[in-house]
Amino acid sequence: MIYQDLLNESALESYAAALNSRGGTARGRLTADGLRDRILESGGRCEWCAVNLVNAEFELDHVLSLRQGGSNSVANLVVACPDCNRRKGRKHPARFAAELYRETGRRTELLTRLFQRYGLDPAQQLPLFAEGSPEAAPAIDAGVEVSKVPPYTWVD
């Protein structure tokens, strides 16, 4: 969609239907009215990087992806430039926020909220597999005993 103050109703309905069908069994259902309000709340800026989106393409991004247990509700959506939406992909939102902050030095309202929610200092590198990190090792979380995980072997 193109960001404008007057958004096309049928385009909003189609976008809501597409997000709802993609949402599967996730909590929440989206409406055209809810999407319109959420889009206009952004003030025409990408909520990740603050780039101006007026008269430009934008996408709606699930802050916490549906695969990570995020809801399919307006509260879990942000307006994003296509670049931020693709770069974030399935990354945990706290990890992407920290990466973006280190690259740009800018703290959007969204980044600030994520840092506060997850208790992060954006200047510090996030651990990849530390206990309690946003993306703790899935094999360990799934109940696999550490002693049964085969050791890695390196071949030259």
Q: Which residue has the tokens 């990740």?
A: 48
Mean pLDDT of 64-77: 90
Task: Give the DSSP H or E segment for 60.
Answer: strand 59-62
Which phi and psi angles does 81 have, rounded to 5°? -70, 155
Residue 48 maps to a domain = yes
pLDDT at 146 over 70: no
Read off the pLDDT of residues 13-23 as tens digits, 9 standing for 90 and up: 999 999 988 86
Is it the case that residue 124 has pLDDT exceeding 50? yes
For the stretch 4-63, pLDDT in tens is 888 889 999 999 999 988 866 678 889 999 999 999 999 999 999 999 999 999 999 999
Could you tell me if residue 143 is inside a domain?
Answer: no
Which domain range does residue 56 map to?
9-131
Q: What is the count of structural domains for the chain?
A: 1
How far is the first Cα of the chain from the last one, in angstroms, to the nearest whole number? 49
pTM over 0.85: no
